[in-house]
Amino acid sequence: MGKMGNEKVHTISGYHPILKAVADRIVPADAWPSATEVGVLSYIERYVHGNAAIWTEVLEPGLRALQALAFARQGQAFEELSADQQDRLLEELESSDSIRDWPGSAQRFVETVASLAIEGYYGNPEARDSTDNRPWDMLGFRPGTLSNEHSASHEVDLQLTPLNKLKDRYDVIIVGAGAGGSVAAAVLAEAGRSVLVVERGSWLRYAEVGNDHLRNHRLSKYGHNTGPSLAGNPRTIGIDNGEERTTLPYEGDYHNNAMTVGGGTRVYGAQAWRFHADDFRMATRYGIPDGSSLSDWPISFEELEPYYERAEWEVGVSGDSEAHPSYGRRERAYPMPALSRTREAELLARGAAKLGWEVGPVPLLINSIERDGRQACGRCGQCVGFACPTNSKNGGHNTMLVRALATGHCDLICDTIAERIVTENGKHAAGVSLAQEVTGNIVRKQVRAGHVVVAAGAIESARLLLNSSSDAEPDGIGNRNGLVGRNLQGHVYSGAFGLYDEPFQDGLGPGVSIATLRFAHGNGGGIIGGGLLANEFTRLPLIHYYRALAPNAPRWGIAGKDAMRTSYLRTSQLMGPIQEIPNPEARVRLSKTVKDRFGIPVAMLSGSVHPETIRASRMLADKAEEWQWASGARQVWRANPGTGLSGGQHQSGTLRMGEDPASSVTDPSGRVHGYDNLWVCDGSVHVTNGGVNPVLTIMALAFRTADNLVKQP
């Protein structure tokens, strides 16, 4: 690094020798290549190109300081030192607060450079696309399908209708083409109604969803792989003193679900659980904890059961119909058998047997056999968070929307936001006001409707109702009692990791393969509602690095590389959602200060989870630890729950259903109280969110609500 010393060098190329030396200490060469041997230097260069501040504020001063330290300690440039000497200097920086002559944090420098080298090594898009990905081969990660082919190119190309071709009026306008909206579209169009589905996201083909390991719905470090786009679509977080903090769509506290055709189902993990019968009568069974709004549903499991069956048969679930008998018996078998068990599931089944726990496969909205002209799951290594390479994952986009469009009665418009529902006298929905951005200009259009179905997901549906105020309802539709947007809930997750002596991960996607519902209701610990424990989906290498390495594992150097290599196929994760105790202070409001690209106030989120929820999730983590030990793990560590607001991918509850308009927003049929033709078909209507993943319940309710609508004169 000849240009160091007092001379200031701003370009990264001037630092190549020292940067290369540092990156190759983070991931050194052994029998497998080093960081820079697989292109990490150009990865960092590209990163710095788009993030100039990281270079000027962190990396450049850090490299200069490191070089100064090398000269001070060893009288030589860093890149000329031995590997041991280099490691010792990096360790010294890592453990010191700051470096002389550099006001920034030395730790931040080491963390940043290490993080970039690791990203470039285990998740570099260039290395990933090569047929010879040495880091992934080293770990045993197989991204593709078993046959290494993909047939998503055969996926149906959905017919879209442009704004200027929309009719002036439809029998029904559905806002949102996600889980609930797509079910409603098929039921209504097949019943002969003229239907318009409005989706703010884009119709993304398999290749457009892509497989970027740093920008997806499982690891969204710099972005995500659906919508909304990062510019012009913020939300805010309400802070105690009345101020707001802006958050972007890929950040955790945005609580995003995928915004694209299919909504969450485009990239989901597809676990297809029914809620337990007692999930519908939580207050009756447990009483109402202080500070909570725990309540019974106005409908029973028995009322919803026929619609669960429809969701399982019409959208398509594979599973073992005899499994989990203590959770509840089924009237009708699943339409497809369960996928074969993974080796990890075999191992965990032996552990559960020692404990005497009932376990079984996980029902999945995934084809285990060829069905409806689409093939069986190709068992690829990157299922959750991505689109399916074999088009075997059953979501709104490739099942119900296809059916709706096939009727010829349904139009689908994308990249168009429903900005407001137009109402008459606070009791009738007359239509929807749409907005679209065309080459930088905002275009607006109002479309009239016989009925409006809101299916925009629990956060955006509440936002839409709040943004649709009128003289009759100045605080927003259905909000006379201030309930719209309250009781936001999702699922707090907890669990435990286990490190085993022998490799057992076979990489067969989706990976989630064994579960127990023993700790739902009747869990023995006085815990309200309990939850589900299941093994985790197949893990991206970077997710393994960030979330699944043992707490005491080295993170860099030869030892760090060895820890990755030896633990990747030997680590199991058990985790699960817990029945959340809703509280009215967890809520969606309108931002007072921030608007989106269309000038519409964005959602402001605030609140946190109820203490009972945290207590319950600690119980689940205890049980996960017990299961890992019983299965033979040699080291076990917990994944503890977060305590902040819970919404995210399992968001629900903001327009809860009930008999009484004083305590609910929608009535038991799924219609907004006081309205004759305004319906809600998404997770918003959930009174409670079950101790399992919610999508099958959202779909079942959408079938029921759409049926109710069809019965209207």
Ligand X SMILES: Cc1cc2nc3c(=O)[nH]c(=O)nc-3n(C[C@H](O)[C@H](O)[C@H](O)COP(=O)(O)OP(=O)(O)OC[C@H]3O[C@@H](n4cnc5c(N)ncnc54)[C@H](O)[C@@H]3O)c2cc1C
Q: Say whether 324 sits in a helix, a strand or coil.
A: coil
Residue with tokens 């996600």: 178
Is there binding between residue 377 and ligand SF4 (CB under 6 A)? yes
Is there binding between residue 682 and ligand X (CB under 6 A)? yes
The answer to whether the peptide bond before residue 228 is cis (omega within 30 degrees of 0) is yes
Is there binding between residue 198 and ligand X (CB under 6 A)? yes
Pairing of strands 195-198, 410-413: parallel
The smaller minimum CB distance to ligand SF4, of residues 362 and 492, is found at 362
Site string for ligand SF4, 320-359 (x = CB under 6 A): ----------------------------------------
Q: How far apart are CA 219 and CA 141, in angstroms?
A: 16
The smaller minimum CB distance to ligand X, of residues 633 and 657, is found at 657
The smaller minimum CB distance to ligand X, of residues 460 and 707, is found at 460
Q: Please, are residues 516 and 353 in contact by the beta-carbon 8 Å criterion?
A: no
Of the residues 143, 395, 431, 510, which one makes contact with ligand SF4 according to CB under 6 A:
510
Q: How far apart are CA 328 and CA 322, in angstroms?
A: 10
Task: Report residue 348 as tokens.
Answer: 């965990």
The smaller minimum CB distance to ligand SF4, of residues 183 and 383, is found at 383
Site string for ligand X, 618-657 (x = CB under 6 A): -------------------------------xx-------
Q: Please, are residues 246 and 594 in contact by the beta-carbon 8 Å criterion?
A: yes
3-state secondary structure labels for all residues of 419-475: EEEEEECCCEEEEEEEEEEECCEEEEEEEEEEEEEECCCHHHHHHHHHHCCCCCCCC
- Write the single-letter amino acid at 689: N
Q: Say whether 575 sits in a helix, a strand or coil.
A: strand
Partner from ligand SF4, ligand X, none binding residue 176, C-beta < 5-8 Å depending on class: ligand X
Is there binding between residue 217 and ligand X (CB under 6 A)? yes
- Please give the size of the binding site for ligand X, defined by CB under 6 A: 41
Q: How far apart are CA 92 and CA 110, in angstroms?
A: 10
Name the β-bridge partners of 494: 576
The answer to whether the peptide bond before residue 510 is cis (omega within 30 degrees of 0) is yes
Partner from ligand SF4, ligand X, none binding residue 65, C-beta < 5-8 Å depending on class: none
The smaller minimum CB distance to ligand X, of residues 89 and 175, is found at 175
CB of 392 to ligand SF4, least distance (A): 5
Is there binding between residue 382 and ligand X (CB under 6 A)? no
Q: Which residue is nearest to ligand SF4 (CB)?
A: 509
3-state secondary structure labels for all residues of 163-231: HHHCCCEEEEEEECCCHHHHHHHHHHHHCCCCEEEECCCECCCHHHHCCCCCECCCCECCCCCCCCCCC
Is there binding between residue 174 and ligand X (CB under 6 A)? no
Of the residues 379, 610, 656, 686, which one makes contact with ligand SF4 according to CB under 6 A:
379
Is there binding between residue 269 and ligand X (CB under 6 A)? yes
CB of 297 to ligand SF4, least distance (A): 31
Other beta carbons within 10 Å of 230: 15
Is there binding between residue 119 and ligand X (CB under 6 A)? no
Is there binding between residue 396 and ligand SF4 (CB under 6 A)? no
Q: Please, are residues 674 and 665 in contact by the beta-carbon 8 Å criterion?
A: no
Is there binding between residue 691 and ligand SF4 (CB under 6 A)? no
Is there binding between residue 220 and ligand X (CB under 6 A)? no
Partner from ligand SF4, ligand X, none binding residue 693, C-beta < 5-8 Å depending on class: ligand X
The smaller minimum CB distance to ligand SF4, of residues 316 and 560, is found at 316
Is there binding between residue 509 and ligand SF4 (CB under 6 A)? yes
What residues line the site for ligand SF4 (CB under 6 A)? Answer: 145, 366, 377-380, 383, 388-390, 392-393, 509-510
